[in-house]
Structure 1
Amino acid sequence: MASSSVGRTTDPGRPPDREYSVAAAGTILMAGVIMIIAGAFHILQGLVALFDDQFYVVGTEYIYRFDVTSWGWTHLIGGVLLVFGGAALFRGAVWARILAVVLASLSAVMNFMWLPYYPLWGALIIVLDVVIIWAVLAHPRDLRTRGPF
Structure 2
Amino acid sequence: MTATHTRPAHTARQDWATGLTAFAAVMLFLVGLLDVFRGIMGIAEDDVFVTTPNYVFAFDLTGWGWVHLALGALAMAVAVGLLKTALWARVLGVAIAGLVIIANFLSLPYSPVWSVVMITISGFVIWALCVVQRGSNLYDTSGDRGTR
1:107 aligns with 2:100: yes
> 1:83-114, CA deviations, whole angstroms, 9 ceiling, x for partnerless residues?
00111111212211101000000010000001
Q: Deviations over 1:46-90 (max 9, x none)?
A: 111112344322222521200000111111111000000111111
Structure 2 matches for 1:1-149, cutoff 5 A?
A: 7=9, 18-139=11-132, 142=135
Q: Specify the code of the residue in structure 1 equivalent to 2:91.
A: I
Which residue of 2 is the match for residue 10 of structure 1? none
After TM superposition, the runs of 4+ consecutive aligned structure 1 residues lying more than 6 A away are: none
SS state at 1:37 partner: helix
Letter in 2 for 1:38: V
Distance 1:123 1:61 in 2: 21
Aligned residues: 132
Please tell me whether the aligned partners of residues 45 and 61 of structure 2 are also in contact (alpha carbons under 8 angstroms): no
CA RMSD of aligned residues (A): 2.1
Gaps of 5+ in 2: 1-7, 138-146
Return the alpha-carbon distance in structure 2 between the equivalents of residues 64 and 140 of structure 1.
Answer: 37
Q: Compute the TM-score of the two structures, normalised by the length of structure 1.
A: 0.80
Taking structure 2 as the reference length, the TM-score comes to 0.81
Letter in 2 for 1:106: L
Specify which structure has the bigger relative contact order, considering alpha-carbon pairs within 8 angstroms and separated by 6 or more residues. Answer: 2
- Identity among equivalent positions (%) equals 30
